[in-house]
C-alpha cells in the first residue's frame, strides 16, 4: 500500500521534501497494522497535538515491519493513549459524527489548555525589553552568556516529534508563537550586551529556512567581536539530511557555515537525535561528514522518552555512534512538564540509572554528555545521583545553568522519591525548608546551600 504525500514531484528520487499531515494519518496507521477503532483514536489525538512527518522518515527511518512498536514510528506518530481516555473518546465521537472544523477546534483547544502549553515561564519570564519598554519579540535571554533567537521563518520542523515541548506553537494559534522578523533588533541587542558570547538559533527548526533566509540572520552577527559562538538547534540531520547533501541550497548552506568558522567564531551545530536508528542511513552519515568538513562542531542532545529511548543500551549505542562519526554528546534531557508528559515521563530515579549505566560503558570521549538535565524555570538542573546522608536517602542535584548565576555548580539535595519525574515533584531534604531558588518561608528558614565564603 502506498500513501501519496503532499507534493508536486513523484516520490521516486526521495529528494524533494514532501510532508504527510493528518489527512494521511488513517492510511499510514493502517500501514502500521492498526484496527479501525485504534486509527480513529489516533486521529482524535492528532486533532489536539500536532502531526507532521515526511517521505524520508516514512521511507528510510521507520521499520514498518516493526510498527507500531518501531521507535521511530513512535517518535512521530501520535498514540491513542497519549491523552486521557475521556478526551480521546469525546473527540473520536465528534470525528465519527462528521463535526465541523470549528467544533473540533473548540474541543481540541479545551484539551490543549489542560496540557501546560507554556512550561518554564517561556512566554513572559525571559523576553528582554528595549530600554525597559516594549518586549523584543523572538528573543529569550535567560542565562547571561546565551541569547535564544526564534527566527520567524524557522518556526516549523521537517517532522514533528510526538514529545515536543514546543508542541503548542504548531497547533495553529498564532498568539502562541515566538517570532521575529526583526533581524536588526536582534543584532542590536547582541551588540549592546557584551556579556552575550553565544547566540542560539532555535524554533521550530532553523534549518527549515533556506540558505537565502538564514544567511540574513547569521551574517550580521559575524561582525560582532564579543560573540564567540553561533549555535543552531536542529533535528534536520535526523529528519531531513538532504538539507546538507542534495537540497538545491545544500552547498550554499555549507559555505555559510564555513564563513562563520572563518570569521573566528564557533559554529555549534546542536543536533537533536532521539534514537540510534536515526544514524543508520548512509545519507545522514554523508550529511554529518559534510557539516563537519565546514569546521562546524556537531554536538548531540535529546530528551529521555518513555517507550522510545528509555533504556541504557539505546543511549550507549547512540553516544558511541555519534562519537564514531565525530559528534560530541552534549545533553540528555528529562522530558518537560508539558503536553502528554504523563505518557512520556521517565521518573528521575530511573532516568539517572539509565544515564549512569550508559555513561559507565562509554569511553571518556563520550562522557562530555551531561544529564539527566531538567530545563526548568529556575535553570537547568542535573540529577547527579542518589545517596544516603545521615540516614536520609536523597537526590544530589546541581544547576548546570541558572537564572541566578550564584546557583550554578553548587550541589543541593532533595528527598528521594522514586516517582518524582520533574523538579516540581521534589521536596527539600536534610532539614532545608525550601530550595535555593525559592522564597524563604516567613521568619527565615534554610535553603540547604553552604555559604560560599565558608567553603
Within 13 Å, how many C-alpha atoms sit on residue 127's CB side? 16
Asked whether the beta carbons of 149 and 199 are under 8 A apart, the reply is: yes
Task: Give the bridge partners for 381, in sequence order.
Answer: 374, 399
Q: How far apart are CA 10 and CA 23, in angstroms?
A: 19
Rounded to a whole number of angstroms, the minimum distance from the CB of residue 400 to ligand PLP is: 6
Distance (Å, whole) CA 199 – CA 231: 6
Q: Which CB atom, from 280 or from 408, has the smaller least distance to ligand PLP?
A: 408
Q: Contact at 8 Å (CB) between 48 and 160? A: no
Tell whether residue 300 is a contact of ligand PLP (CB under 6 A).
no
> Whole-angstrom Cα distance, residue 122 to residue 166?
10
Maximum CA extent, the chain = 71
**How many residues at the interface with ligand PLP, by CB under 6 A?**
10
The residue length of the chain stands at 455
Q: Is 421 in the site for ligand PLP (CB under 6 A)?
A: no
Q: Which stretch binds ligand PLP (CB under 6 A): 44-52, 140-148, 417-425, 427-435?
A: 140-148
Is 140 an interacting residue with respect to ligand PLP (CB under 6 A)? yes
Pairing of the two strands 328-334 and 139-143 = unpaired
The answer to whether residue 400 forms part of the interface with ligand PLP (CB under 6 A) is: yes
Q: Does 377 bind ligand PLP (CB under 6 A)?
A: no
**Smallest distance, ligand PLP to C-beta of residue 343, A:** 23
Residue 375 bridge partners (DSSP): 380
Report phi then psi at 451, rounded to 5.
-60, 120
**Coil, strand, or helix at residue 49?**
coil
CB closer to ligand PLP, 54 vs 198: 198
| 375 is a contact residue toward ligand PLP (CB under 6 A) | yes
CA–CA gap between residue 191 and residue 229 (Å, rounded): 14
Which of residues 169 and 375 has its CB atom nearest to ligand PLP in the complex? Answer: 375
Q: How far is the CB of 144 from ligand PLP (least distance, A)?
A: 10
Q: Of the two residues 153 and 373, which places its CB atom closer to ligand PLP in the complex?
A: 373
Binding residue (CB under 6 A) for ligand PLP from 47, 153, 314, 401: 401
> Shortest gap between Cβ of 392 and ligand PLP (angstroms)?
30
The C-alpha cell at 132 is: 525597559
Region from 57-65, 127-135, 141-149, 287-295 binding ligand PLP, contact rule CB under 6 A: 141-149
CA R_g for the chain: 22
290 is a contact residue toward ligand PLP (CB under 6 A): no
DSSP-derived 3-state class of residue 54: strand
- Where helices occur in 49-130 by DSSP H, the ranges are 55-56, 71-76, 85-96, 101-113
Q: Identify which of residues 119 and 241 has a Cβ nearer to ligand PLP in the complex.
A: 119
Residue from the set 146, 377, 433, 447 that interacts with ligand PLP by CB under 6 A: 146
Give the contact letters, 193-232, x = binds to ligand PLP (CB under 6 A), - = no.
-------x--------------------------------
Residue 380 near ligand PLP by CB under 6 A: yes
* Contacting range for ligand PLP; rule: CB under 6 A; set: 64-72, 137-145, 157-165, 315-323: 137-145
Residue 99 CB-density burial (10 A; 0-12 exposed, 13-18 middle, 19+ buried):
middle
Residues between 32 and 91 with contacts to ligand PLP, criterion CB under 6 A: none
Instruction: Pick the piece of the chain touching ligand PLP (CB under 6 A) from 69-77, 138-146, 245-253, 426-434.
Output: 138-146
Nearer to ligand PLP, 300 or 401 (CB): 401
Cβ neighbours of residue 419 closer than 8 Å, sequence gap 6 or more = 347, 425
Give residues in contact with ligand PLP (CB under 6 A): 140, 142-143, 146, 148, 200, 375, 380, 400-401
Amino acid at each position: 500500500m502506498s500513501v501519496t504525500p503532499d507534493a508536486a514531484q513523484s516520490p521516486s528520487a526521495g529528494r524533494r521534501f514532501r510532508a504527510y499531515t493528518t489527512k494521511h494519518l488513517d492510511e499510514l496507521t493502517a500501514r502500521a497494522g492498526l484496527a479501525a477503532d485504534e486509527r480513529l483514536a489516533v486521529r482524535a489525538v492528532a486533532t489536539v497535538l500536532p502531526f507532521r512527518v515526511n517521505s524520508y522518515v516514512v521511507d528510510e527511518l521507520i521499520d514498518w515491519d516493526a510498527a507500531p512498536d518501531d521507535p521511530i514510528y513512535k517518535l512521530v506518530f501520535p498514540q491513542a493513549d497519549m491523552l486521557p481516555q475521556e478526551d480521546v473518546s469525546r473527540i473520536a465521537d465528534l470525528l465519527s459524527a462528521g463535526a465541523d472544523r470549528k467544533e473540533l477546534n473548540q474541543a481540541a483547544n479545551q484539551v490543549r489548555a489542560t496540557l501546560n502549553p507554556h512550561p518554564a515561564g517561556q512566554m513572559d519570564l525571559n523576553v528582554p525589553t528595549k530600554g525597559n519598554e516594549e518586549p523584543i519579540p523572538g528573543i529569550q535571554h535567560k542565562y547571561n552568556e546565551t541569547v535564544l533567537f526564534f527566527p520567524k521563518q524557522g518556526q516549523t520542523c521537517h517532522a514533528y516529534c510526538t514529545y515536543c515541548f514546543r508542541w503548542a506553537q504548531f497547533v495553529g494559534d498564532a498568539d502562541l508563537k515566538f517570532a521575529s522578523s526583526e533581524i536588526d533588533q536582534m543584532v542590536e541587542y547582541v551588540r549592546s550586551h557584551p556579556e552575550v558570547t553565544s547566540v542560539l538559533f532555535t524554533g521550530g527548526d532553523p534549518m527549515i529556512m533556506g540558505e537565502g533566509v538564514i544567511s540574513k540572520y547569521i551574517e550580521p552577527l559575524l561582525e560582532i567581536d564579543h560573540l564567540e559562538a553561533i549555535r543552531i538547534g536542529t533535528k534536520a540531520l535526523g529528519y531531513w539530511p538532504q538539507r546538507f547533501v542534495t537540497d538545491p541550497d545544500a552547498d550554499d548552506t555549507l559555505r555559510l557555515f564555513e564563513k562563520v568558522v572563518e570569521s573566528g567564531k564557533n559554529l555549534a551545530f546542536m543536533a537533536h537525535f532521539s534514537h540510534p536508528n536515526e544514524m543508520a542511513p548512509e545519507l545522514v552519515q554523508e550529511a554529518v561528514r559534510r557539516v563537519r568538513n565546514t569546521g562546524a562542531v556537531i554536538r548531540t542532545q535529546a530528551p529521555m522518552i518513555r517507550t522510545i529511548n528509555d533504556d541504557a543500551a539505546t543511549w550507549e549505542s547512540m553516544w558511541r555512534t555519534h562519537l564514531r562519526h565525530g559528534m560530541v554528546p552534549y545533553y540528555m534531557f528529562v522530558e518537560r512538564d508539558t503536553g502528554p508528559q504523563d505518557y512520556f515521563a521517565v521518573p528521575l530515579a530511573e532516568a539517572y540509572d539509565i544515564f549512569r549505566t550508559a555513561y559507565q560503558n562509554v569511553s571518556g570521549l563520550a562522557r562530555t554528555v551531561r544529564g539527566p538535565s531538567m530545563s526548568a524555570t529556575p535553570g537547568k538542573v542535573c540529577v547527579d545521583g542518589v545517596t544516603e546522608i545521615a540516614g536520609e536517602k536523597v537526590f544530589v542535584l546541581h544547576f548546570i545553568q541558572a537564572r541566578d548565576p550564584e546557583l550554578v555548580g553548587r550541589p543541593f539535595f532533595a528527598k528521594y522519591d522514586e516517582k518524582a519525574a520533574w523538579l516540581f515533584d521534589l521536596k527539600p531534604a536534610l532539614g532545608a525548608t525550601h530550595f535555593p531558588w525559592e522564597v524563604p518561608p516567613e521568619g527565615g528558614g534554610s535553603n540547604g546551600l553552604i555559604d560560599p565564603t565558608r567553603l
